[in-house]
Amino acid sequence: MSIVMLPHLAYGHVSPYFELAKKLSNKGFQIYLCSTPICLESIRNNLMISSSNNIIQLIDLQLPSSFHQELPPHYHSTKNLPPHLKNTLLAAFDASKPAFSDILRNLKPDLVIYDLLQPWAGEAAREQNIEAVMFLTCGGMNSSAAPESPYSLDEELSEAMLDTVNGITTQERCTRSFVAAKMVLIKASREIIGGDCLSMIPQLEMVPIGPLVPKPQDHDDDERFMNWLNKRNPSSVVFVSFGTEYFLSQQEIEEMAYGLELSGVDFIWVVRFHGGSNIRSIHEALPGGFLERIEGKGMIVEGWAPQAKILQHSSTGGFVSHCGWSSTLEAMVCGVPIIAIPMQLDQPMNAKLVVDIGVGMEVPKQNKKLVRKEVASVIRRVVVEEEGKEVRRRVKDLSERLKKKEDEEFDKAAEKLVKLVQQSGNHK
């Protein structure tokens, strides 16, 4: 059985789609993972598919050349994309429907798995009588984008739902995406999301497939991080990262820096700047004298760190996170308590879930702004103080339950996909 997969053009979406592709290919499915060349670049580098393993093939989707002047190929991904080009990228992706339709005509797959913000992918499949399934890389409770979701959106996300590109609001995109799907796969476990999420659209089956947390890859620079962590006490270090999609403002960088310093807890902090940023270096961005003062206590790295390996290390005792869904699940699977600092989109709801199930605490903001004393206080409560003991226990317990359930949930989902195609009568 062959499947074409089309994620949204963001690393936080492409990565889970690739994990899903690997797990499906292990069950004998022929997978075609389709995206722009820049989005597939990291997968090509990591995968190094041997010539004997052709069960996952990467398919380049070219965005229309009419957009290239404003949106050169290295911006055909949300990673490092200057914020003012976000809507342009979505418009260009919409305009790639004819190219995607051609790919489907050539490959003639049994099934298309597509993402939330591109309803046209599901519609393109239907036009060619191919079954279409949506894969949500955000959590079940974040399916608040669904037409009949029981979850209320926070103010910022409600506004984002009204963003309009090509005359379509984000809310309309989401609704159309659900309508085009025969089934919805959710990157989550029943251990995390309740039945409310799975029955929010009565006529549509919502299927959890497990956390899909990637196994750590080996990179040349890993040793530097591991050696640093090896010298720390068990559960004594916080890892700080806000993902690939959010870039801290100058003020947020300062409050975060002073907050980490005030906490007295050892840390590894990943700092990123977007493509349009005029900040040239970490030294320029951080408060004066900060790097000297935290020498031996903190490790600052620009751009990237081996997150999976760091979270799995015995010295890691907390994760200061924006609560992107993949990062949230990774922390849960690794049994690392979360210090939640949500910034945008679905992150406030993910943070609420983290607090509700007792595996982390959220850093309160003042007038929507980060405050150093609050950062320091919550880090200490979660990682060091007696108050965080129950959080630390709960996240370890959840980690065990997730690991036990993972294969069972995925196997059930894979069976449902096979049944869907067989019932359609399109299987070749």
Bigger pLDDT: 155 or 269? Answer: 269
- E-strand stretches of 36-97: 56-60
Bigger pLDDT: 218 or 365? Answer: 365
pLDDT of residue 199: 62
Question: Are domains 2-209 and 222-401 of this chain identical in fold?
Answer: yes
Q: DSSP readout, 293-313?
A: HTTTTEEEEES---HHHHHHS
**Which residue type occupies 313?**
H
| DSSP code of residue 216 | P
Whole-number percent of the chain with pLDDT over 90: 62
Calculate the average pLDDT of the chain: 88
pLDDT of residue 139: 60
C-alpha to C-alpha distances, 279 to 65, 77, 123, 370, nearest whole angstrom: 31, 21, 42, 20
Which tokens go with 257? 């820096």
Residue range 222-401, CATH number: 3.40.50.2000
Across the strands, what pairs with 60?
A: 35
CB-CB contact of 202 with 242 (8 Å): no
Residue 69 has pLDDT above 70, yes or no: yes
Q: What is the rounded distance in angstroms from the CA atom of residue 317 to the CA atom of residue 236?
A: 5
Domain boundaries in the chain? 2-209, 222-401
How large is the average pLDDT for residues 154-175? 81
- Smallest CA-to-CA distance from 239 within 64, 108, 382, 45 is with 382
Residue 140 has pLDDT above 80, yes or no: no
pTM greater than the 0.75 cutoff:
yes
Q: What is the rounded distance in angstroms from the CA atom of residue 15 to the CA atom of residue 341?
A: 22
In degrees rounded to 5, what are phi and psi of residue 205? -80, 125
Three-state SS for 282?
helix
CB-CB contact of 127 with 100 (8 Å): no
Query: How confident is the model over 180-194, as pLDDT tens digits?
Result: 999 999 999 988 876
Q: What is the rounded distance in angstroms from the CA atom of residue 32 to the CA atom of residue 104?
A: 10
Query: How confident is the model over 261-309, as pLDDT tens digits?
Result: 999 999 999 998 765 555 567 778 888 899 999 999 999 998 889 999 9
Query: How confident is the model over 209-225, as pLDDT tens digits?
Result: 999 888 887 777 889 99
Active-site positions?
13, 115
pLDDT of residue 129: 95
pLDDT band at 130 (very low <50, low <70, confident <90, very high): very high
pLDDT of residue 369: 94
Q: DSSP readout, 364-421?
A: P-BTTB--HHHHHHHHHHHHTSGGGHHHHHHHHHHHHHHHHHHHHHHHHHHHHHHHHH
How large is the average pLDDT for residues 126-134? 96
pLDDT of residue 277: 56
pLDDT of residue 417: 95
pLDDT of residue 281: 72
Strand pairing of 298-302 and 266-271?
parallel
How large is the average pLDDT for residues 111-138? 94
Identify the architecture of domain 2-209 in CATH: 3-Layer(aba) Sandwich (3.40)
CA 197: distance to chain centroid? 19
How large is the average pLDDT for residues 11-32? 92
pLDDT band at 50 (very low <50, low <70, confident <90, very high): very low
- Smallest CA-to-CA distance from 396 within 353, 370, 360, 349 is with 360
pLDDT of residue 336: 98
Which tokens go with 372? 């150093």
